[in-house]
Amino acid sequence: MVASVRLTNVSKRFDELEAVRELSLSVEEGEFLTLLGPSGCGKTTTLRIISGFEVPDEGSVLIDDKVVNHVPPFRRNVNTVFQNYALFPHMTVFENVAYGLSLRKAPRGQIAKKVHEMLERVGLVAKARNMPRELSGGEMQRIALVRALINEPRVLLLDEPLGALDAKLRYAMQLELKHMHKNLGITFILVTHDQEEALVMSDRIGVMKSGRMLQLDTPREIFERPGSRFVAEFIGTGNLLQGTVSARSGSGGKIALGETRAWEAAAIPDEIPVGARVAVVMRPQKIGLYLDHPPQPPAGCNVVRASLQEIFYAGSIVRFFVDIGGATLLVENIPENLPFDYLSIRPGAALTLHVPASALLIYRD
Amino acid sequence: MNPVNGSSESATTSFQAERRRQRLLWFLLCFGPPFLYLLVFMLLPYANILLYSFWKVENYAIVHDLNIDNYLKFFENPLYTRVLWNSLFVATVVTTCAILVGYPLAFFLAFVAGKHRRLLYFLVIAPLWTSFLLRAFIWKLILGREGMINGLLQYVGLTDEPISLFLYNQFSVCLTLTYIFIPFVTLPVFTALEKIPRGYIEASMDLGGNGLQTFRRIILPLSIPGLVAGGIFTFALSFGDFVTPTLLGGPSSIMISNVVMGQFGAAFDWPFGSAIVVIVIGVILSAVILASLAERRSSAPVV
């Protein structure tokens, strides 16, 4: 497989701040890769190293198997969709989109044809003569996208491109970007702090923290099998409990939570010995919730008594905060999937939780 | 009509009248003082000068007799028109030179200076805190017969005796005015350059624009408003300057304001002096209008 972009042991430091530390990354041709992490994790710096706006202190950057560490941005066949679009305010939409081609001194007729084609692709031919300030957020987003695509880059970089849009438009643009990626077949590298955006769009996600790549995997693996406590908590919502490994059997074992409780866990990392303090992360969607007559629990399922604290209706899902004695857990479910009517129960109601042993993600504390 | 309705209607009208009265009061409070200021310090003096320019002097007394002789006198005498052309020439040269030095300086401050920017900015504006007169006079010490340049030339051995080529001519006037007005170009241009989001520059480079292309197509058009502001300052102020030609100019480098001074002083021809002032204001106004038209053509306002 051809690596479209490859970083090997790249480090970048700004005065006291180590923005990127020994980062290695290989992006395959035509892949949609997302760099995900909280602000200041180094994801934007990584993107700027690829686009050429930052020169790494150590390590090498390869685009199409050529080292480009010191190649300036304007000589790289990589284009960027900037965070706030950065549409040139003194140029019309047409001139903005044509900019890349006009710098290469392409013939006028060819430029006009190509720009028209690009505007057609995003349905904004009618806005060609408008100034950027006359466009809506979504329109600016689309123009920034085709302005970057007109040079036919090998790699398209997207720096939080949807951050400034409202929720509804963001979903629409996520799909549009995804379709665009499928049709063009070029490599997309997206930077975002929005985990849902990353999960929806990417072939692979790289989760970053403090300049390091913590985990690089498919969205499903990242969500289902987060490799570290940070990833587990950053992706999705999570319940966090503190416990101790009280017994091991095969790959699993028992986790003691407090004095009296011990839960079955299906997978405990090999390097954690009996007696070690661990953090237990559980997805709220994986916990079963029953009012009375709970069904026979499947094998390896922890049955927990709980009492309802609070209940929140959020449209597509219902959130329950339940007290399991000394700790509060969040449980989420789709209203239609609940075995009881959530409107009928009040705080204090006695509930039964089914926590599958496989739902417990165990990390060294 | 229902009486209840009637009374509520009249209450509404009186309420509206009250609102209208309040709005008028606010309007007067807000716009009264600035209007009064403009009236007293700008409109009345200008009107006064305009009026004077149509009067004349007879037997050392101003005669209130409307005529256009002053204007005819100015445009018919080549001596005066030559001074006007000379002033225009000096103002154009000074504006051009101040932009040629001031723009790169502003560019350096905005994009290159980095952490020394504050210190350098301070050094650019520091001369503005000293007297204009002093800043003009200092060039006498540099260019004069006993000045630094002559001293250097003799020290190096290029000349045996002081050269008086540098002072009391068009060159020394233009040089001094350029020096004085460089900050007037640098400051507005620097402000305009600083306001350009770095994203625009990076977007240009990302799309394939090298340094020069990015400057010509992004940075320069977006800094035009600052450039025009600085250019207008420099043009207007150097066109109307009289201190520099008096101190450093020769007989051939008299400027229009020197003539005005003369009319209001020794010559005691206030009407003729006023007519020249009206012409000066006319020239500067046309320059300002031309500049803002050029600005509107070359760049759209930055959001």
Q: Is A133 on the interface with B (CB under 8 A)?
A: yes
Q: What is the pLDDT of residue A337?
A: 85
Nearest to A45 by CA among A196, A179, A212: A212
Which residues from B are below 8 Å from A131, CB to CB?
A: 300
Query: Within this chain, do residues B285 and B146 fall inside the same structural domain, yes or no?
Result: yes
Query: Within this chain, do residues B227 and B184 fall inside the same structural domain, yes or no?
Result: yes
Query: Within this chain, do residues B107 and B12 fall inside the same structural domain, yes or no?
Result: no
CB contact under 8 A, A90 and B300: yes
Angle at alpha carbon of residue A142, lines to A140 and A148, rounded to 5°: 100
Average pLDDT over residues A91-95: 95
**Which residue range is the domain that position B44 belongs to?**
3-52
A8 exposure class (CB count in 10 Å sphere: 0-12, 13-18, 19+): middle
- From 3.40.50.2300, 2.40.30.210, 2.30.30.100, 2.40.50.100, which CATH number describes the A239-364 domain? 2.40.50.100
Nearest to B144 by CA among B161, B159, B172, B166: B166
- Which residues neighbour B142 within 8 Å (Cβ) at sequence distance 6 or greater? B148, B149
Nearest-angstrom CA–CA distance, A61 and A77? 13
- Which residues neighbour B105 within 8 Å (Cβ) at sequence distance 6 or greater? B124, B182, B186
Q: Is B204 on the interface with A (CB under 8 A)?
A: yes
Average pLDDT, chain B: 89
Q: Is the pLDDT of residue A237 over 90?
A: no
For A3-233, which CATH superfamily applies?
Answer: P-loop containing nucleotide triphosphate hydrolases (3.40.50.300)
Q: Is B303 on the interface with A (CB under 8 A)?
A: yes
Which residues from B are below 8 Å from A132, CB to CB?
A: 303
- pLDDT 10s digits, B163-203: 877 888 889 999 999 999 999 999 999 999 999 999 999 99
CB contact under 8 A, A103 and B208: yes
The fraction of chain A above a pLDDT of 90, given in percent, is 70
- pLDDT 10s digits, B124-163: 999 888 898 898 888 988 888 888 888 888 888 888 888 8
Domain boundaries, chain A: 3-233, 239-364
CA A295, A298, A303, A308 torsion: positive or negative? negative
In Å, how far is A229's CA from the nearest CA of chain B?
35
Query: Within this chain, do residues B39 and B76 fall inside the same structural domain, yes or no?
Result: no
Q: Is A154 on the interface with B (CB under 8 A)?
A: no
Query: Within this chain, do residues B217 and B257 fall inside the same structural domain, yes or no?
Result: yes
- Let me know if residue B184 belongs to a domain: yes
- Let me know if residue B246 belongs to a domain: yes
Nearest-angstrom CA–CA distance, B255 and B257? 6
Q: Is A71 on the interface with B (CB under 8 A)?
A: no
DSSP assignment letter at A290: E
Nearest to B184 by CA among B256, B245, B135: B135
- Let me know if residue B156 belongs to a domain: yes
Q: What is the pLDDT of residue B1?
A: 44
A32-36 and A187-192 strand pairing: parallel
Would you place residue A283 in the very low, low, confident or very high pLDDT band (cuts 50, 70, 90)?
very high
Nearest to A149 by CA among A126, A120, A170, A108: A120
Would you place residue B301 in the very low, low, confident or very high pLDDT band (cuts 50, 70, 90)?
very low
Least confident of A12-16, A82-86, A93-97, A258-262: A258-262
B181 exposure class (CB count in 10 Å sphere: 0-12, 13-18, 19+): buried
- Let me know if residue B61 belongs to a domain: no
Q: Is the pLDDT of residue B88 over 60?
A: yes
- pLDDT 10s digits, B44-82: 999 999 999 999 888 888 888 889 999 999 999 999 999
Would you place residue A166 in the very low, low, confident or very high pLDDT band (cuts 50, 70, 90)?
confident
- Let me know if residue B62 belongs to a domain: no
Comparing CB atoms, the residue among A75, A82, A151 nearest residue B203 is: A82
Would you place residue B303 in the very low, low, confident or very high pLDDT band (cuts 50, 70, 90)?
very low
**Count of domains for chain B:** 2
Query: Within this chain, do residues B121 and B25 fall inside the same structural domain, yes or no?
Result: no
Number of other residues whose CB lies within 10 A of the CB of residue A255? 24
CB A63 within 8 A of CB A4: yes
List all residues of chain A from 201 to 240 with a beta carbon under 8 Å from chain B: none
Q: What is the pLDDT of residue A38?
A: 92
- Let me know if residue B57 belongs to a domain: no
Q: What is the pLDDT of residue B214?
A: 96
Nearest-angstrom CA–CA distance, A194 and A36? 7
Q: Is A14 on the interface with B (CB under 8 A)?
A: no
CB contact under 8 A, B207 and A89: no
Instruction: Locate the chain A residue with the closest alpha carbon to B197.
Output: A86
Query: Within this chain, do residues B148 and B231 fall inside the same structural domain, yes or no?
Result: yes
Average pLDDT over residues B93-110: 96
Comparing CB atoms, the residue among A73, A75, A82 nearest residue B199 is: A82
The fraction of chain B above a pLDDT of 70, given in percent, is 94
Query: Within this chain, do residues B112 and B172 fall inside the same structural domain, yes or no?
Result: yes
- Which residues neighbour A162 within 8 Å (Cβ) at sequence distance 6 or greater? A141, A170, A173, A174, A177, A192, A194, A197
Query: Within this chain, do residues B45 and B73 fall inside the same structural domain, yes or no?
Result: no
Q: What is the pLDDT of residue B267?
A: 86
CB contact under 8 A, B213 and A90: no
Q: Is the pLDDT of residue B302 over 70?
A: no
Q: Is B212 on the interface with A (CB under 8 A)?
A: no
Helix (H, G, I), strand (E, B) or coil at A330: strand
Query: Within this chain, do residues B139 and B263 fall inside the same structural domain, yes or no?
Result: yes
Query: Within this chain, do residues B134 and B219 fall inside the same structural domain, yes or no?
Result: yes
Query: Within this chain, do residues B139 and B177 fall inside the same structural domain, yes or no?
Result: yes
CB contact under 8 A, A73 and B205: yes
CB contact under 8 A, B199 and A86: yes
- Give the best residue of A50, A103, A140 to mutate against chain B (max B CB count within 10 A): A103
Q: Is A96 on the interface with B (CB under 8 A)?
A: no
Q: What is the pLDDT of residue A1?
A: 57
- pLDDT 10s digits, A209-222: 999 999 999 999 99
Q: Is B213 on the interface with A (CB under 8 A)?
A: yes
Residue listed under structure tokens 């100034």: A131
- Let me know if residue B60 belongs to a domain: no
Would you place residue B251 in the very low, low, confident or very high pLDDT band (cuts 50, 70, 90)?
confident
Which residues from A are below 8 Å from B206, CB to CB?
A: 51, 53, 73-74, 78-80, 82, 148
In Å, how far is A25's CA from the nearest CA of chain B?
22
